[in-house]
Amino acid sequence: MAATTHTVSNQPPPLVGYDVYGGDRALSEGVARHLASADPELLGEVGRELTLLGTAAGSAQAQGWGVQANEYPPRLRTHDRYGNRVDEVEFHPAWHRLLGHAVTSGLTDAWGRPAGHLRRAAGFFVWSQAEAGHGCPVSMTHAAVPALRTDPELAAEWEPRLTSHVYEEGLRPAGQKAGVLFGMGMTEKQGGSDVRANTTAAVPLDASGEYLLTGHKWFCSAPMCDGFLVLAQAPGGLTCFLVPRVLPDGTRNAFAIQRLKDKLGNRSNASSEVEFDGTWARRVGEEGRGVRTIIEMVAATRLDCVIGSASLMRQALTQAVHHAEHRSAFGAVLLDQPLMRNVLADLALESEAATTLTLRLAAAYDAGTDQERAFLRLAVPVAKYWVTKRCTPMVAEALECLGGNGYVEDSGMPRLLRESPLNSIWEGSGNVQALDVLRALQREPQALNAFLQEVGLARGADHRLDAAVKDLLTDLADLEGIEARARRVVERMALVLQGSLLVRWAPPQVADAFCASRLGGDWGAAFGTLPHSLDLRAVVERARIAGR
Ligand SMILES: Cc1cc2nc3c(=O)[nH]c(=O)nc-3n(C[C@H](O)[C@H](O)[C@H](O)COP(=O)(O)OP(=O)(O)OC[C@H]3O[C@@H](n4cnc5c(N)ncnc54)[C@H](O)[C@@H]3O)c2cc1C
């Protein structure tokens, strides 16, 4: 009777073979909304591109690559068999498949294409649901473009390779590659947030912008990239440099990888400690303007932190809903049980608010007007603070929806949970974002104007939103202890912004539940505490994979 004991029942089927893009109503409707006034041909083209990517991301093959790339993490090889330094990192083939698919799908190419940021943001959101770790070099490569544009000569040389849809693994002179990847080196042992404490020294070789660097970087992710934007102290102060791994003559630049970090999550990706010793570098921008130059890159990677967290949240929600649709307990399917529905609806609100905000930011990049730039100046650090901060508790709660299965690696949920705090740390941790918001509020009045104009577009549509905006204005006018209160202020800004977007664009049941809980205060400290009078069934129904 062994067969009887091995009968498997009441377990969900594997969640594969679905379209991550088309199945996500909040995402696909959002993309269509932002492209509503675009040429219909463009809308069709973007839709086809994202459907292809979404179908690939939800395939058993890509999900399998995600598992393998994390089960077989990268390995550092410092020397070859003869004792020569090589400083190479070996990755499982699955890593290269994931990265290759990202690059060939245009995920490093936003800056020149029509609706480039929107389609790339949606694509990054979708493809990260196959695996999140490889998004790191994808993000840094995409983000290096605006920093390099401060030097037209360098941009002309490198931009076509950075935005290329060709993936070529392996270290060779960049001139021999059709596509390259970039990383960044800012953080040192004695200071990460405070980059002005950097001690890496840059000595000019001549007046042509070439320098030699000596020093170290405490975190340098994806060290197999072809080039890095690095901060170092030049005679004129902190300066941005381009450091290639391989010099044009084919010899290796001095780039000694000391070790790889043993990280909580993000295990498919290599994050290294590097030492520079007479490392050749080319200056980017003026001496002493390093932060100004590299901040162009950091602003773009901060948006990617928001996209990455929104993507993790959607993936966790999809898993939770899928489990609850197929699992019964106490005689009923979990999805139909009122308390589970409350939990799932609450998670769905958090996910849709993050998705909608993400797309709005990407569309603002595409618009590129002064008004949108002013809006982004505040909205990006606000979103980076809040969406990345919400990610970990949200993913943890989604994991619990799978019960004990969620705690087991096979479910994929532990990987999502380990990944989730990261976007809140790199590219400026929570406090650093909150302080950046204060800086913008104090020094750039046009940013607050643009932010309030955006929120004001929903004025009068929901009394709880109107009251929350009024409270926020009172909060902003009170400067006493503002630094210690910064997190609370930024949280409020994020919630009114998310609330205003949902009131304008989401189905009424979603907007109503968001405003009642996040703005109206009728909510507990844990997920699953929404007022029972709301239409939670409609909220959960919307979160299910469409067309499945
Ligand atoms: C997996 C991973 C990969 C990374 N990859 C890279 C990379 O490729 N390149 C790179 O350059 N860096 C990289 N980093 C480094 C990352 O950007 C830094 O860790 C981050 O910016 C924080 O810097 P820190 O670690 O020095 O912390 P610190 O600057 O020491 O900050 C510690 C804490 O203090 C808070 N804090 C700082 N200043 C203030 C203040 N004035 N008031 C209140 N609180 C404050 C911070 O918010 C943080 O919570 C990576 C980090 C991780 C985890």
* DSSP state for residue 251 in the 8-state scheme: P
Structure tokens given for 188: 């040192």
Cα of 431 vs centre of ligand 1, distance in Å, is: 10
The mean predicted confidence, pLDDT, of the chain is: 97
Average pLDDT over residues 229-243: 98
The span from the CA of 156 to the CA of 18, in Å, is 40
**Amino acid 4: pLDDT:** 77
**Beta strands per DSSP E along 270-414:** 271-284, 328-329, 332-333
Cα of 416 to ligand 1 centre, how many Å?
21
Our measurement of the distance from residue 169's CA atom to the centroid of its chain's CA atoms, rounded to an integer in Å, reads 23
Phi, psi angle pair for 254, to nearest 5°: -70, 115
Q: How far apart are CA 162 and CA 179, in angstroms?
A: 6
CA of 231 to the centre of ligand 1 (A): 15
Provide the angle, in degrees to the nearest 10, between the axes of the packed helices 445-456 and 430-443.
100
Q: What is the mean pLDDT of residues 8-16?
A: 96
**259, pLDDT greater than 60:** yes
Of all atoms in ligand 1, which is nearest to the CA of residue 193? 29
Q: Which protein residues are within 6 Å of ligand 1, measured from CB? A: 183-187, 191-194, 219-221, 263, 266, 271, 422, 425-432, 435
Cβ–Cβ contacts within 10 Å for residue 348, how many?
25
Is the pLDDT at 3 greater than 70, yes or no? no
Q: Residues 520-534: pLDDT tens digits? A: 999 999 999 999 999
**Residue closest by Cα to atom 44 of ligand 1:** 431
Question: In 3-state terms, what secondary structure has residue 258?
Answer: strand
Cα–Cα distance, 147 to 128 (Å, whole number)? 24
Give the model's confidence band at 38: pLDDT under 50 very low, under 70 low, under 90 confident, else very high.
confident
| Length in residues, the chain | 548
Q: What is the mean pLDDT of residues 104-130?
A: 97
Per-residue model confidence as pLDDT tens digits over 449-476: 999 999 999 999 999 999 999 999 999 9
- Residue of minimum CA distance from atom 34 in ligand 1: 431
- Report the distance separating Cα 375 and Cα 188, nearest Å: 32
C-alpha Rg value of the chain to the nearest Å: 24
pLDDT category, 51, cuts 50, 70, 90?
Answer: very high
CA of 384 to the centre of ligand 1 (A): 14
Which atom number of ligand 1 is nearest to the Cα of residue 483? 42
What one-character DSSP code corresponds to residue 411? G
**pLDDT exceeds 90 at position 347:** yes
In one-letter notation, the amino acid at residue 110 is A
Spatial CB neighbours of 423, under 8 Å, sequence gap ≥ 6: 305, 306, 308, 309, 312, 384, 388, 391
Give the confidence band of 176 by pLDDT, cuts at 50, 70, 90.
very high
Q: Whose CA is nearest to atom 24 of ligand 1?
A: 192
Distance 426 CA to ligand 1 centre (A): 6
Rounded to whole angstroms, how far apart are CA atoms 9 and 397?
24
Query: Hey, whose CA ends up nearest to atom 33 of ligand 1?
Result: 429
pLDDT band at 221 (very low <50, low <70, confident <90, very high): very high
Q: Give distance in angstroms: CA of 237 to centre of ligand 1.
A: 21
Distance 275 CA to ligand 1 centre (A): 19
| pLDDT score recorded for residue 5 | 85
pLDDT at 1 over 90: no
Contacts of 376 (CB under 8 A, 6+ apart): 299, 361, 364, 365
Three-state helix/strand/coil letters over 448-515: HHHHHHHHHCCCCCCHHHHHHHHHHHHHHHCCCCCCCCHHHHHHHHHHHHHHHHHHHHCCHHHHHHHH
- As a whole number of angstroms, the distance between CA 518 and CA 67 comes to 35
Say yes or no to pLDDT of 146 above 90: yes
